[in-house]
Structure 1
Amino acid sequence: MIIILVATTNGVKLSTNIYLTAIYAIVAATKGQTQGGVRLKMPIFIKESMPIKWRLAVLMADREIDYKELAEMTGMHPVTISKHKNIRVMPERLERETLEKYCKALNCQPGDLLTYVPDEPKGQTS
């Protein structure tokens, strides 16, 4: 069994195509060397802590708005709203237009949706 572990140390992520290319290369290289074929697990992505917190769920709760209502107010797809609501860190790709739609619908500022929370220096305890 081959397990591929992918960890980022500086937040730089490679595209999915690079991961898939690596997986296909491993499968091709080991296909004839194992009995019963090769079993692969998909790469494990380790997220580093992100100091920018995403507060869409908090603002929606404060205003008693569910994801369907917000979808109607913004013109965005309900699944997109639901995905954005259920994450706690800033979305990896957040378009300016999307941020503007949220701010207009929720009557808020971008700083209400995004909050910077600095990491504690290593070695310090509270």
Structure 2
Amino acid sequence: MTTPITEERIPRLRKAFTATVVAPRTIRAKLIRILAVALVILLALLGLSAARQLGDYENASTTAADAHLSDALQGFIHEHQKERGLTTGYVGGRARRSPGCRPGEGRPPPWVSVAGAADRRISGSPAG
């Protein structure tokens, strides 16, 4: 849907665009075009760099969470093996035990809190 008025304006607009952006005639227009192109390239590179650093930060936080979970799991396994050794010694009738490893000291075994922390970490609920 073009009218004779718009058909006449299109070549003038195209010529004006070509004269100012594509092939400017003045030195000022040429310098502005050079600076604009350089600015666009610089902003694109900064955007790519920021996106890469954001990805690296996300990877680092995931790795830290995995390391924390692994540490909690290793503590749980250690305490579980220690409890198993105590149980085996108790059932086996060993009269001699190490002084720091007495079963039933009136508090829950340490692995209970570690297992709870690992369960909360896996489920995503806050520590409590």
Q: TM-score over 0.5 for the alignment?
A: no
Q: Which has the larger radius of gyration?
A: 2
What is the TM-score of this pair, normalised by structure 1? 0.19
> Where is the helix percentage greater, Structure 1 or Structure 2?
2
> Where is the strand percentage greater, Structure 1 or Structure 2?
1
